Each structure stands twice: as C-alpha cells, then as structure tokens.
C-alpha cells in the first residue's frame, strides 16, 4: 500500500513556512507498515488543489490531506475533494450545532463563514475534532477496481495529531494486513553527532532488521530505533537488544532510554530524592524556568527563582553583594556562585542552579573586554558545596542561551546520578 500526503496552504509555498504535519503522519503510517511514496505541497488555489488531488488518487492507495478546512474563502479542501470525486456537499446539522455551541461557550457569535465547516462530502464519515472547529472526513471507496482510503484533516498540528491517532489509525489498521512496530529513543546531551556515530554505528549496523536514525539538534543527539515484525514481541525484542548494546557503549552520557526530555528526567530524579530546586538566570532570562515548568506537576519540586538580568536585580532578588559584581563583573565565577547560593537561601530549596553569561550579539557595556561572547558560568549548590563550571558556547544569541540551559540541566543530572 502506497500513501501520498498532500499539505494544503499557500503559506507553505513561501520561504517562511514548511509543512511539518507530514512528518507526524509519516511516522503513523510507517507504524502500520505503510510507505509514503509522495508528498505534495499545494497552495490555496482551486485548480491546483483539484489537480493535486486527482493525481494523488491515481498514484496512491492512501491519501491524507492536511489543511484548508478553516472558515475563510481560502479554505478549499472540502470543496475541491468533492468536486474531484464528483460528489455533492451537504450541511451536516449535528456538526453545525456543535460549531455554534463552541462559539456560545466562548461568548461569541458564530461568523456566517464558519458554517461551511459543517459541510460533509457525500459518502464521507465525519471525524470529530476535539481540539478545533473543523472536523476531519474519511472516505473509503473503490476507484477503477482499487480500494482508496482518503482522509482530510485540519492543518493545526494540535488538532491534526490527535484526530489522526484516534480516528484514522484505527480505520487504516482495520483495512491493512497486521504489522507491528516497536521503537526506542535514546537521548544524549551536549555530545557531538560524529562522536555518537563513530561509537555506535559498529553496533547498530549489526542489526540489519532495525532501522536506525541519528538526529542532532537543540543541544542533544537522539538515536531512534524502529523494527517492524509480524508480532509485537519480536519487534520489541530487537529494539531492546540494539538499545541495550548502545546504552552499554555510551554509559551515562545517555540521559533517557525512553524518549523523556532532559527536564523531565531531572524533575523525576529530584522527585524520587524528595529534593527541591530553584534557579537564578541572567543571560537565559527565564528560559531554564520555562523549560522546567513546561512539564506538568513540576511544582512538586521546582520552587521558582530569580530572573537576575540587571545588576540591581541580582542584588535585589538573589542577594548578590554589589561589590562582587564591581570586582569580578556580572559574568564571573564569583557572581554565578553567589546567584545560586542566594536564590537557594531565599526560596528554601534543597538545590539551586544559576546561569550568567554573554549571549551576544554584542558584549554589553561595562563588560571586561577579555571576556568573549559565548562565555557562560553555571553554578550548582546544595547549601554546603557549590560547584561552578566555566563554558564557552559558539554560535548566535539563541544558541548560546539554549546550550546554557542544557549545560545547567545536564550538570544537575550528573550531580543527582
């Protein structure tokens, strides 16, 4: 069974936006043993969209369309699919009512143009969308004697992903021969891709029935293992074997054997040890706090901290003595140490992390000219002992700031281990 994914939207034909839904859909199709043979990106243009749909139905067995289900004039997917298949569109009253209820619940009147989101293609099933106004639709029919499965899905990833998982995957699975896929995801922070590849390729290359992908980005390396077998037990045994062998080689460079993020791992370790954490951030300006609090229930171990961006806020919020800043500069080992110790005392946490550095693009006025862009100090204290690390991070402002938060989390993880 071959699949084609069509992403609909003129914004994806600009230099600024890319289709990313197809990556998620591809993973889901692969889980079911389906190969994606074509991806097409087409704009909000009636002729172009109809032609793309026509071609896809001829060359693929499964066609997934994303986007173009909104309320605007530009949203044409429903109409164009109906026209291409010579089917009618009719208003589904139940969908129409639930659309109206969404607006009432938000104390808004439904604009008249939203009504077309309730239009159903003749012979299609409605796929309810729990996270947005536009439902998906599903078609299963014979075309010149071949079975065709077509889904139209809303473009926003938060709507498309759950809708695909809950509504499309079961329908696809029922239509396809049984296949089982197992996956593992190993994650490592702050290590070069070439080093990971040199050490692990001789291992994973021995597992010819396991598909291995190395992904690098966001200050970490991920190793993905995928295996498809007639039974889940066979597939699981193979990915288990390869990930055990790789874990044995990479040791505690690996922070996660099951895909958890570094912030999740650190919060879990703190929870198990019944310890709490506070942070004091200068150049990262709240990013470390933002990462930690992105995880539900982080309030059990994360207490908060100081965004100690200006010199005065370092003193006012983390009790850094101003003479320390005058003597050593805001980006210094002494200030990093004082930030961590000060915020720990203030918040009453068991542990505290601090970050101070020069993120660029320019060196701030008043900074020692010998201190280069990318210089960052990270401190970790438990109230008795304080460690400080000096690191040099190449790259632009965003990279320096992201890597600084990653170094801080990794320093804490290794301390807890």
Q: Interaction with a copy of itself in 314-343: which residues (CB under 8 A)?
A: 314, 316-317
Binding to a copy of itself by residue 207, rule CB under 8 A?
Answer: no
Shortest distance, position 121 Cβ to a copy of itself, whole Å = 22
Other CB atoms within a 10 A radius of the CB of residue 307 amount to: 18
Q: Are 241 and 235 in contact (CB under 8 A)?
A: no
Q: Beta strands of 154-230 (E only): which ranges?
A: 180-189, 211-217, 220-229
Helix residue ranges per DSSP H, 176-261: 193-204, 232-250
Shortest distance, position 289 Cβ to a copy of itself, whole Å = 3
Binding to a copy of itself by residue 303, rule CB under 8 A?
Answer: yes
Binding to a copy of itself by residue 283, rule CB under 8 A?
Answer: yes
Q: Beta strands of 87-233 (E only): which ranges?
A: 89-91, 119-121, 125-127, 136-143, 146-153, 180-189, 211-217, 220-229
Binding to a copy of itself by residue 351, rule CB under 8 A?
Answer: no
DSSP-derived letter for residue 367 is S
**How many residues interact with a copy of itself (rule CB under 8 A)?**
103
Shortest distance, position 89 Cβ to a copy of itself, whole Å = 20
Q: Interaction with a copy of itself in 115-144: which residues (CB under 8 A)?
A: none
Shortest distance, position 122 Cβ to a copy of itself, whole Å = 26
Cα–Cα–Cα angle for 399, 300, 389, rounded to 5 degrees: 35
CB closer to a copy of itself, 51 vs 387: 51
CB closer to a copy of itself, 170 vs 259: 259
User: Helix, strand, or coil here: 380?
Assistant: strand
DSSP-derived letter for residue 34 is P
Q: Interaction with a copy of itself in 242-261: which residues (CB under 8 A)?
A: none
What H or E segment, with its residue span, contains residue 400? helix 397-416
Look at residues 230, 188, 191 and name the one whose alpha carbon lies nearest to residue 209. Answer: 230
Stretch that binds a copy of itself, among 92-100, 189-197, 237-245, 250-258 (CB under 8 A): 189-197
CB closer to a copy of itself, 53 vs 124: 53
The reply to whether omega before 361 is within 30° of 0 (cis) is: yes
CB closer to a copy of itself, 10 vs 387: 10
CB closer to a copy of itself, 159 vs 410: 159
The count of C-alpha atoms lying within 13 angstroms of the C-alpha of 307, restricted to the half-sphere facing its C-beta, is: 7
Q: Give how far Cα 301 sits from Cα of 122, 266, 344, Å.
A: 54, 10, 13
Binding to a copy of itself by residue 23, rule CB under 8 A?
Answer: yes
Binding to a copy of itself by residue 94, rule CB under 8 A?
Answer: no
Look at residues 274, 266, 313 and name the one whose alpha carbon lies nearest to residue 293. Answer: 266
- Return the residue of 33, 39, 245, 333 that touches a copy of itself, per CB under 8 A: 39
Q: Interaction with a copy of itself in 139-178: which residues (CB under 8 A)?
A: 156, 158
Binding to a copy of itself by residue 14, rule CB under 8 A?
Answer: yes
- Return the residue of 33, 38, 50, 416 that touches a copy of itself, per CB under 8 A: 38
Q: List the beta bridge partners of residue 116.
A: none
Binding to a copy of itself by residue 377, rule CB under 8 A?
Answer: no
Q: Interaction with a copy of itself in 46-65: which residues (CB under 8 A)?
A: 48, 51-52, 55, 59
Tokens of 320: 């850094």
- Return the residue of 88, 166, 195, 248 that touches a copy of itself, per CB under 8 A: 195
Binding to a copy of itself by residue 381, rule CB under 8 A?
Answer: no
Stretch that binds a copy of itself, among 8-16, 85-93, 137-145, 372-380 (CB under 8 A): 8-16
The count of C-alpha atoms lying within 13 angstroms of the C-alpha of 88, restricted to the half-sphere facing its C-beta, is: 3
Q: Interaction with a copy of itself in 390-409: which residues (CB under 8 A)?
A: 394-399, 401
Distance (Å, whole) CA 173 – CA 179 = 9
């Amino acid at each position: 069974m071959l699949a084609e994914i069509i992403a609909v939207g003129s914004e994806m034909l600009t230099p600024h936006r890319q289709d990313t839904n197809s990556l998620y859909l591809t993973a889901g199709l692969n889980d079911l043993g389906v190969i994606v043979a074509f991806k097409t990106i087409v704009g909000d243009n009636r002729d172009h969209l109809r032609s793309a749909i026509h071609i896809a139905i001829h060359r693929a067995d499964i066609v997934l369309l994303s986007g173009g289900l909104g309320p605007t004039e530009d949203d044409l997917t429903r109409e164009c699919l109906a026209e291409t298949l010579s089917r009618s569109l009719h208003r589904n009253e139940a969908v129409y009512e639930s659309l109206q209820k969404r607006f009432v619940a938000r104390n808004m009147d439904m604009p008249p143009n939203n009504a077309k989101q309730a239009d159903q293609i003749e012979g299609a099933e409605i796929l309810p969308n729990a996270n947005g106004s536009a439902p998906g639709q599903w078609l299963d029919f014979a075309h010149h004697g071949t079975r065709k499965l077509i889904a139209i899905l809303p473009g926003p990833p938060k709507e498309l992903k759950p809708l695909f998982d809950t509504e499309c995957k079961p329908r696809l699975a029922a239509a396809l021969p049984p296949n089982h896929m197992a996956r593992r995801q190993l994650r490592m922070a702050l290590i070069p891709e070439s080093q990971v590849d040199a050490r692990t390729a001789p291992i994973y290359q021995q597992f010819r029935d396991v598909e291995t992908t190395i992904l690098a980005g966001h200050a970490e390396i991920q190793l993905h293992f995928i295996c498809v077998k007639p039974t889940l037990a066979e597939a699981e045994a193979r990915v288990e074997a390869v990930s055990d062998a790789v874990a044995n080689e990479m040791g505690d460079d690996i922070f996660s054997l099951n895909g958890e993020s570094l912030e999740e791992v650190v919060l879990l370790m703190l929870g198990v040890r019944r310890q709490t954490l506070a942070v004091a951030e200068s150049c990262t300006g709240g990013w470390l706090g933002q990462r930690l609090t992105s995880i539900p229930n982080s309030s059990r171990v994360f207490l908060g901290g100081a965004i100690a961006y200006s010199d005065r806020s370092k003193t006012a919020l983390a009790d850094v003595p101003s003479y320390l800043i005058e003597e050593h500069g805001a980006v210094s080992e002494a200030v990093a140490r004082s930030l961590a110790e000060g915020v720990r005392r203030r918040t009453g946490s068991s542990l505290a992390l601090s970050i101070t550095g020069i993120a660029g693009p320019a060196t701030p006025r008043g900074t020692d000219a010998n201190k280069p862009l990318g210089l960052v100090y990270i401190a970790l204290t438990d109230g008795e002992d304080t460690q400080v690390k000096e690191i040099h991070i190449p790259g632009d402002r965003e990279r320096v700031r992201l890597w600084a938060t990653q170094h801080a989390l990794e320093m804490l993880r290794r301390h807890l281990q």
